[in-house]
Amino acid sequence: MAVILASGLASAEGRYAVIFKSAGNPFGEKLMDGFEKAVKEFGGEAILKAPAEPTAEAQIQMIEQLIAQHVDAIAISANDYDALEPALKKAMRRGIKVVSLDSAVNPDSRDVHINQANPELIGRVEVQAIYEMIGEEGQIAVLSATSQASNQNLWIEWMKKELKKPKYSNVELVKVAYGDDLRDKSVSETEALLKTYPELKGIIAPTTVGIAAAGKVLTDKGLKGEVYLTGLGLPSEMAEYIKNGVCPWMYLWNPIDLGYLGAYAAHALVTGDINGEVGDTFNAGFLGEKEVIQAGEGTEIMLGAPFKFDVVNIDKWKEVY
């Protein structure tokens, strides 16, 4: 069953919809919380959606529903970079503003993308982290979300570029596995990595579902100090594994702020304050003024740099999200 929530009645300030990749994802739930918070601030109506399965087909159905409802804007965390293009172009032809956030769609399918952090920095710091944890040598693997998730794939590309540096000559990336952002599959993929590569020393999981699943597997198997874990995770879900040493540290940004920024960007597009072009600026509530910048053949708005969570600060942040 899909998650479909709405707040308030139709508003003169417009109707703003957000579609996350799948229901039941804690990161997505926080992202939608932030989106709804912003929409309430500027007086619009928020529509929150997430399909039961992380597929492009399920998201396309939701886009078609929103077109029929004549919403003013759609913000989407995409399950596929290109497959949503026909549906999103149809929305834009009907006057609906489109932003992607978290996981992008191609530039032709959106007015602007909301990027949570610099993709190059995310990829490189995760490799640097696991390199330090494993003692600068050994086999490592990546446990990602879906094979079509554009954000994870971009981060993995930067991980591979970082690994080409001479300092990593004794580090071997043995496999990129995909848990499809499903907890059970992420658990089974982690177990398969451990079985297939008994000398494995480190796992990078750039997905909140995957890193929590891997943390549980490594903890249950008593592999602290033998196989290290880092990646991108929610502090509330990873506090146990950071404090027990399975995951010495990890990174993330604030998903609430990411959704919040996505809503304000959509509002700026709807009101005509921006057109999604390089150099456009707008006020994003408590985040202050934001600017549209070039990103490949399209444009984007950057939330900020990834933040490091470790044993020193995790108790504070686990209460936040």
* DSSP H helices in 3-51: 26-41
List, in order, residues 6 or more apart from 87 with CB less than 8 Å away.
59, 60, 63, 64, 67
Q: Is the pLDDT of residue 7 over 80?
A: no
Q: Is the pLDDT of residue 248 over 60?
A: yes
Residue 198 φ then ψ, to 5°: -65, -15
The per-residue pLDDT for range 258-301, each reduced to its tens digit, is: 999 999 999 999 999 999 999 999 999 999 999 999 988 999 99
Q: Is the pLDDT of residue 9 over 80?
A: no
**Predicted TM-score (pTM) of this structure:** 0.77
Residues recorded for the chain = 321
Tell me the average pLDDT across 246-252.
Answer: 97
Q: Which residues pair with 172 in a beta bridge?
A: 139
Of the two residues 313 and 12, the one the predictor is more confident about is: 313
pLDDT-derived band at 5 (thresholds 50, 70, 90) equals: very low
On average, the pLDDT of the chain sits at 94
Residue pair 73/39 in contact by the 8 Å Cβ criterion: no
In angstroms, what CA-CA distances link 203 with 32, 58, 82, 226, 233?
Answer: 28, 30, 29, 11, 13
The per-residue pLDDT for range 49-92, each reduced to its tens digit, is: 999 999 999 999 999 999 999 999 999 999 999 999 999 999 99
The per-residue pLDDT for range 215-231, each reduced to its tens digit, is: 999 999 999 999 999 99
Name the token pair of 109. 């399918």
